[in-house]
Structure 1
Amino acid sequence: MKFELFRGDSGVYFWLNGLAAMAFSFILPVMSLFLIEGLGIEPMYIGLYTVGTAIATILISQVLGRLADRGIDSKTLLLISVGFLCLAALCFSQLTQFWQAVIVGWCFMAFGASSIPLLLAMIRRFAERSGKDSTKLNSQMRSSVSLVWIAGPALAFASVGTFGFRANFLLAASIALLVLVMVWRLLPSASKAVKPETSHEIVPPFPYKVWFLGVGILFANMANSTYINAMPLFITKELNLPVSYPGIFMGLTAALEIPVMLLSAAWSHRFGKMKMMMVGFIIAIFFYTGIQYASTVEWLLALQLFNGLFYGIFVGLGITLLQDSAPKRVGQVSAFYTNAMSVGTMCGTSLMGFVAQQYGFRNAIYISLAAIVISLGIFLAVHLNESKQGKVSELQSPPV
Structure 2
Amino acid sequence: MPTLTLSTRLRQRPDMTAIAFLVVAFLTGAAASLQVPTLSLYLTGHVGARPIMVGLFYTVSAMVGIGVSQWLAHHSDKAANDRRKLIVVCCVLGSLGCLIFAFSHSYWLLITLAVLFGSFGGTANPQVFAYAREHGDHIKREAVMFNSIMRAQVSLAWVIGPPLSFALAIGFGFPTMYCIAGLAFVACALLVWRALPTVPPRPHHETAHLPRIQWWRDPQVRLLFIGSVLMWTCNSMYLINMPLYVTQVLHLPETTVGLLMGTAAGLEIPAMLVAAYYCRTLGKRVMMRFATFAGVLFYLGTCFATNEYAMVALQLLNAIFIGVIAGIGMLYFQDLMPGQIGTATTLFATTTRTGSIVAGAIAGTVAELWGYHAVFYVALCSVSGALYCVYRLKEV
TM over 0.5: yes
Q: Matches of 1:95 and 1:382 in 2, distance apart?
A: 47
Cα distance change on mapping 1:7 and 1:225 into 2, 3 Å: farther
Residue 85 of structure 1 aligns with an amino acid whose one-letter code is G
Q: Which residue of 2 aligns with 1:236?
A: 247
1:321-340 matched pairs, under 5 angstroms: 321-323=332-334, 325=336, 333-340=344-351
Q: Is the 8 A contact 1:206 1:326 kept in 2?
A: no
Residue 60 of structure 2 aligns with an amino acid whose one-letter code is G
1:246-325 matched pairs, under 5 angstroms: 246-323=257-334, 325=336
Q: Which residue of 2 aligns with 1:40?
A: 48
Q: Matches of 1:181 and 1:19 in 2, distance apart?
A: 11
Cα distance change on mapping 1:313 and 1:358 into 2, 3 Å: same
Matched, 1:378 2:386: no
* TM-superposed deviation, 1:235: 0.7
Q: Matches of 1:164 and 1:201 in 2, distance apart?
A: 53
Q: Which residue of 1 aligns with 2:181?
A: 172
Superposed CA RMSD in Å reads: 2.7
Q: Matches of 1:123 and 1:379 in 2, distance apart?
A: 32
* TM-superposed deviation, 1:38: 0.9
Matched, 1:81 2:94: no
Q: Is the 8 A contact 1:274 1:379 kept in 2?
A: yes
1:365 match: secondary structure: helix
Q: Is the 8 A contact 1:47 1:351 kept in 2?
A: yes
Equivalent of 2:26 in 10, 18, 26: 18
Q: Which residue of 1 aligns with 2:103?
A: 94
1:189 match: secondary structure: coil
Q: Is the 8 A contact 1:92 1:104 kept in 2?
A: no
* TM-superposed deviation, 1:37: 0.6
* TM-superposed deviation, 1:121: 3.1
Q: Which residue of 2 aligns with 1:115?
A: 124
Q: Matches of 1:170 and 1:249 in 2, distance apart?
A: 24
Residue 261 of structure 1 aligns with an amino acid whose one-letter code is M
Residue 120 of structure 2 aligns with an amino acid whose one-letter code is F
Q: Which residue of 1 aligns with 2:142?
A: 132
Q: Matches of 1:206 and 1:143 in 2, distance apart?
A: 33
Q: Sequence identity, in percent?
A: 27
Q: Matches of 2:194 and 2:343 in 1, distance apart?
A: 26
Q: Deviations over 1:233-282 (max 9, x none)?
A: 11111111111110011111111111112233222222223331221111
Q: Which residue of 1 aligns with 2:166?
A: 157
Q: Matches of 2:263 and 2:15 in 1, distance apart?
A: 27
1:292 match: secondary structure: helix
* TM-superposed deviation, 1:190: 4.2
Matched, 1:358 2:366: no
Q: Matches of 1:240 and 1:189 in 2, distance apart?
A: 51
Q: Deviations over 1:29-65 (max 9, x none)?
A: 1111111111001010112222222112111211221
The two structures have a TM-score, normalised by structure 1, of 0.86
Q: Deviations over 1:259-316 (max 9, x none)?
A: 1122332222222233312211110100000011111222112111111121211223
* TM-superposed deviation, 1:351: 0.9
Q: Deviations over 1:124-149 (max 9, x none)?
A: 55566646363x55443322222111
Q: Is the 8 A contact 2:256 2:308 kept in 1?
A: no
Q: Which residue of 1 aligns with 2:5?
A: none
Cα distance change on mapping 1:108 and 1:264 into 2, 3 Å: same
Q: Is the 8 A contact 1:44 1:354 kept in 2?
A: yes
Q: Deviations over 1:316-361 (max 9, x none)?
A: 3233433455576555544443332122112112211111112221
Q: Is the 8 A contact 2:56 2:364 kept in 1?
A: no
Q: Is the 8 A contact 2:17 2:197 kept in 1?
A: no
* TM-superposed deviation, 1:76: 2.5
Question: How many pairs does the alignment contain?
Answer: 379
Residue 87 of structure 1 aligns with an amino acid whose one-letter code is L
The two structures have a TM-score, normalised by structure 2, of 0.87
Cα distance change on mapping 1:148 and 1:237 into 2, 3 Å: same
Q: Which residue of 2 aligns with 1:54?
A: 62
Residue 224 of structure 1 aligns with an amino acid whose one-letter code is N
Q: Is the 8 A contact 1:94 1:166 kept in 2?
A: yes
Q: Is the 8 A contact 1:268 1:276 kept in 2?
A: yes
* TM-superposed deviation, 1:122: 3.4
Which shifted more, 237-246 or 353-362?
353-362
* TM-superposed deviation, 1:367: 2.3
Cα distance change on mapping 1:211 and 1:372 into 2, 3 Å: same
Cα distance change on mapping 1:80 and 1:35 into 2, 3 Å: same
2:392 match: secondary structure: helix
2:304 match: secondary structure: coil
Q: Matches of 2:229 and 2:84 in 1, distance apart?
A: 28
Q: Which runs of 5+ in 2 are unaligned?
A: 1-9
Q: Matches of 2:61 and 2:301 in 1, distance apart?
A: 31
Q: Which runs of 5+ in 1 are unaligned?
A: 387-400
Q: Matches of 2:344 and 2:82 in 1, distance apart?
A: 17
Q: Matches of 2:74 and 2:299 in 1, distance apart?
A: 37
